[in-house]
Amino acid sequence: MFPDICRLPIAASSHSSEIFRIALPVGLLAGAAIVLLHLVITRFCGKAPQRKPWRWWEALVYLGVLGIIACLGVTAFAAVLRLGAIGGWWLFAHMCGAGAMVAALPVLALMWADSNRFQIGPADSGPAEPVQFLAIAKLAYWTVLASGLVVAGTMIVSMLRWLGTPGQQLMLDVHRYAGLVCVVAAGVHLYGVALRRLAP
HSE-CB at 34 with a 13 A cutoff on CA atoms is 20
Furthest C-alpha separation in the chain: 59
Q: In this chain, which stretch among 24-32, 68-76, 161-169, 191-199 interacts with other proteins, using CB under 8 A?
A: 161-169
CB distance 119 to 148 below 8 Å: no
CA distance linking residue 110 with residue 113, whole number of Å: 6
DSSP state of 115: G
Among the listed residues 69, 159, 53, the one whose alpha carbon sits nearest the alpha carbon of residue 105: 69
By CB under 8 A, tell whether 169 contacts other proteins.
Answer: yes
- Could you give the string, one character per residue 124-153, with x where binding to other proteins holds by CB under 8 A and - elsewhere? ------------------x--xx-xx--xx
Which of positions 60-119 make contact with other proteins (CB under 8 A)?
85, 87-89, 91-92, 95-96, 99, 102-103, 105-106, 109-110, 113, 117-118
* Residue 138: CB minimum distance to other proteins, A: 11
Partner residues linked to 51 by β-bridges: 131
Nearer to other proteins, 14 or 50 (CB): 14
Among the listed residues 158, 155, 146, 132, the one whose alpha carbon sits nearest the alpha carbon of residue 182: 146
Q: Given the rule CB under 8 A, which residues bind other proteins?
A: 14, 85, 87-89, 91-92, 95-96, 99, 102-103, 105-106, 109-110, 113, 117-118, 120-121, 142, 145-146, 148-149, 152-153, 156, 158-165, 168-169, 172
